[in-house]
Chains A and B, each alone.
Chain A
């Protein structure tokens, strides 16, 4: 059995040989979709040019994935021998050049562009003590490196990174970089042990629950697939990421595809599958490209294919693309889609673990779930389950977006409070506004009001608050957002995405949407509210698949937590957040109006009249509430009520 370990040893040695010597100055530039959108490519070019121009052989430009600090991108980090890594934010060509000539050449930090305070970087000692959950990561090179590199920098220092352990650190297209950080050690441990049952037990002991939203215990799912009498079995990675507002899975696949592949291979071994599929949404071309490259590299090294490490275990991976249908994230619809059919769900049971792809037992797991698997094997289930809550081990990655200062990816232990995520790591709400609610679970979730801000985040607690954990999308709403409008937004989405197979969802969501449209346009009645709630509960009960069953959640949770706002729309014909156009009134304050005529000139329906230098007036009957006058008036004379 030592043979298998030896093979890994050899891989490790190869990888170490290719690793840069510590005497080299390393510049890391991100290269995920969001980084590229912020101009990371030009920044990388600038560094390349500088390296050539200055003939700096000892400087190496490294392309890495995304560290998740999206609102500060492009992020550049510079590691000099024997010194702490320095991180820069919002770097453009010019700053890149400055970093090169001043920091790299002369050791002077470009202070105005640093991420965090200069004092962090001016000492080699780490200033932040590990939190209890971070302490569980220490001692494992795989998970500790992130803490060593980023542990003092705000935003990162309160995170516990397991799934995102390599994101932003390694080159996502380099197998040796992955291996040099204990990559494929998990698989090696598994194959060396040669006991699939043991693997499944470890996953159960780890208390790993599905990160795709449902929270089903992963060990149990694998166990069910193992029990099947069928010999042909499949593993599927669900990378459909349909929640519009979530991007954890995209970032993970673009930044560290090997960890997900390793997770897939281990899953395949544990359940006795020889073939796995990545189902990736077509909207993520870069993720598709990186996963394909990674699969090819693994093939070359014999980590995929026939007789892996001489164990007799064969495993192949193939990518299948989605085509823009939210419902295809649902397991049975996803299976139909991989089979080349219309992505319509079917009733369960039978569950995919019994009858899945081509009627064979199929384990479907989310990207993040799979990325955790190698880490569990390396750090051992009993350490993994110390992080998180008593019923749910490990961490969860959230995609923080909306009205929050630090948008980006945040990985925290299960059971962390919303306050810590939104106000701690997220840095609170911009422009001095107040937090109104946090939306989790996307179109299948709900709005969590300020009152639950201290509730620990977990599958069960969020469900009790009327939302769901979901796959990790977390959209922060401030006082300018209208709860009714947000509910309507999600209903437009689910109504459009309903596959049409069953009538409660197809018709019910349409009726609900009609009611919401009436309410937001000022024509709602109290009876509408009663009907809305009744319909919502009906659709929830009677729909065939998860899409329909969860579609009413945004409505039900807002009715529960923001009923006052519904009443204001229906009874007072007022939108307290001043969002629903039909319920807003624009008026000119004659005291403040100086008669500059600017508003009259921009009004598209020419309904503002008045003489130059005299107060103007809006003809309310004709006003289409476009807001143009409000935006243009320099004297704050136009009031929005």
Chain B
């Protein structure tokens, strides 16, 4: 399936017809995303919803793969180069797969002055990965955030939907082990 898609959305040296391509792209996405895209196409400015669609795709898959981006291009009828151009411009979009738990350590100003660097270092040591990397077992991805809006409780770490406040390096092992229990 994925191989097909690679053909589908490349620059045109494939033998598939457009119907197959769209069909293959549709197979990739759940109903809610397809519905949303359909809705967008009726919009006055359909292209303007590209970022919204990319958000939905990332929410579903955890990241934006070349295949899913190509499929978005196909279904929204936007050049594939533009889709990847937009996706790569914005920090929020992840172009690599991520672990089960994404740990975002805030390095915004308030967190920085309250010692967030030491917290990041501790996570890095405990997990054995650097920022932007994922552990071998696929459990954790370590990321840096630029302010999560909870600055008054700095330093702040976000894991999934949970925000941990006033994190110190010595709390890090506990936070990691409580993730593993989930």
Which residues of chain A have a CB within 8 Å of any CB of chain B? 33-34, 36-38, 70-71, 73, 241-247, 250-251, 282-285, 320-326, 337-344, 358, 399-403, 407-408, 439, 442, 473, 475, 477, 481, 486, 489-490, 493, 499
Contacts and interface: CB of A to CB of B under 8 A. Distances in A.
Interface string B140-155: 0000011111111110
B52 A320 contact: yes
A38 B153 contact: yes
A284 B149 contact: yes
B93 A402 contact: no
Interface in B62-95: 85-86, 89-93
Nearest to B156: A37
CB-based closest 4 A-B pairs:
A70-B152, A244-B108, A324-B92, A245-B109
B48 A326 contact: no
Given A325-B90, A402-B110, A245 B45 contact: no
A407 B91 CA distance: 28
Nearest to B144: A496
A358 B45 contact: yes
Contacts of A324: 90-93, 146
Interface in B108-136: 108-110, 112-114
Contacts of B47: 339-340
Interface stretch (B9-17, B24-32, B158-166, B173-181): B158-166
B98 interface: no
8 contacts: A33-B163, A242-B146, A244-B108, A247-B150, A320-B48, A324-B146, A343-B90, A439-B109
Interface of B: 45, 47-52, 54-55, 85-86, 89-93, 106-110, 112-114, 145-154, 156, 161-165
A71 B154 CA distance: 10
Contact of B92 (A282, A344, A475, A481): A282
Given A338-B48, A340-B50, A340-B51, A250 B90 contact: no
Contacts of A341: 86
Given A38-B165, A325-B89, A493 B146 contact: yes
Contacts of B51: 320-321, 323, 337, 340
Nearest to A443: B109
Contacts of A481: 113
Contacts of B152: 34, 70-71, 247, 399-401, 407-408
Interface of B is mostly: mixed
Contact of A489 (B54, B109, B156, B163): B109
Contacts of A71: 152-153
A229 B18 CA distance: 43
A323 B54 contact: yes
A142 to B, nearest CB: 26
Contacts of B146: 242, 244, 324, 326, 493
A251 B165 CA distance: 16
Contacts of A284: 149
A323 B147 contact: no
Nearest to B108: A244
A247 B90 contact: no
B145 A401 contact: no
A36 B93 CA distance: 26
Contacts of A342: 85-86, 89
A37 B114 contact: no
A402 B109 contact: yes
Contacts of A38: 153, 165
Nearest to A323: B90
B113 A403 contact: yes
Contacts of A321: 51-52, 55
A247 to B, nearest CB: 4
A34 B153 contact: yes
Contacts of B149: 33-34, 241, 247, 250-251, 283-284
Contacts of A339: 45, 47-48
B114 A33 contact: no
A442 B152 CA distance: 15
A244 B55 CA distance: 22
A489 B110 contact: no
Nearest to B125: A604
B112 A489 contact: yes
Given A37-B164, A324-B146, A402 B45 contact: no
Contacts of B109: 243-245, 401-402, 439, 442, 473, 475, 489-490
B55 A282 contact: yes
Which residue, B50, B52, B151, has most C-beta atoms of chain A within 10 A? B151
A340 B86 contact: yes
A342 B51 CA distance: 9
Contact of B154 (A326, A401, A442): A401
